Amino acid sequence: MRNIILACEILEDEIRKARSAAENQDPIIWIDSSLHMFPQKLHDKLQEEIDRIDREQAPENILLSFGYCGNSVVGLKSSTANLIFPQANDCIDLFLYKNKDKITIRSSGCYFLTRGWLKSQYSIVNEYDRYLERYGQKKTDRIMDVMLAHYKCFTLLDTGAYPVEDCTPIALESARKLNMQLCMKQGSIQHLIKLFSEDWDEDFCIVPPGSQVTLDHFSELSLSPAQGQIL
């Protein structure tokens, strides 16, 4: 077998769309998105799946549709396959692929939404309702003031993988509840399409069998000698 895909559930819409665009038929193993909350557990789960794949299927490549996700991928190792994953901090980076303003957009106080994030019970918009139940309105407001102190808007990313107009009302409603503005931004699934069509250029990390993923694989952190001093 050539490839197996390990994928985060939150990206289901985008992954399905990107696979069909890439005409990719590789089997997928979905990883529970609640692990987003616990990078160490996400790491352990990914390693467990990789070990199982090594034992049972031993493909040539394991494609991880994840970003670094709080160091979750750091330390991963396959004994038989190449580990291949996009150069990205997280899924938000994936969707802002090649966007020149990525750093500014990310630092400007946006909490990002897609249909996947809106559905996830761990997204802030859905957690809010649980908090209301537990703490009542007044305390929930205080908690949310701390949580979202530096956030101004919810940014609905139109990745082209789901009908964004269907999500606008829920996103608007959530923004209203949490005193946020709602913005829209064009996203992209091009990075995922490249992952699934084996177009693995410098925007991907390829870690050979027996080697571990390290921070050095992440080019955003590299101080390229050509650039001399870091900026």
Binding stretches for other proteins (CB under 8 A): 37-39, 67-68, 70-71, 74, 89-90, 103, 106-107, 109, 127, 130-131, 134-135, 139-140, 142-143, 146-147, 149-151, 214-215, 218, 220-221, 223, 229-231
Least Cβ distance, residue 148 to ligand B12 (angstroms): 6
Burial state string for 110-134 with b = 16 or more CB within 10 A and e = fewer than 16: bbbbbbbbbbbeebbbeebeebeee
Least gap, CB of 225 to ligand B12 (angstroms): 25
Binding positions for ligand B12, 169-188, rule CB under 6 A: none
Single out the segment in contact with ligand B12 by CB under 6 A; choices: 51-59, 62-70, 79-87, 176-184: 62-70
Are the CB atoms for 36 and 42 separated by under 8 Å? Answer: yes
Q: Please check whether residue 215 is in contact with residue 75, taking contact to mean a CB–CB distance below 8 angstroms.
A: no
CB of 142 to other proteins, least distance (A): 6
CB atoms under 10 Å from CB of 135, counted, come to 13
CB of 55 to ligand B12, least distance (A): 26
Give the span between the Cα atoms of 209 and 228, in whole angstroms.
Answer: 32
Considering only CA atoms, which of 165, 164, 204 is closest in space to residue 62? 204
Q: Which of 69, 83, 167, 189 binds ligand B12 (CB under 6 A)?
A: 69
| C-beta of residue 125 within 8 angstroms of C-beta of residue 179 | no
| Interacting residue ranges for ligand B12, rule: CB under 6 A | 36-39, 42, 68-70, 72, 89-90, 92, 106, 110-112, 117, 124, 147, 149
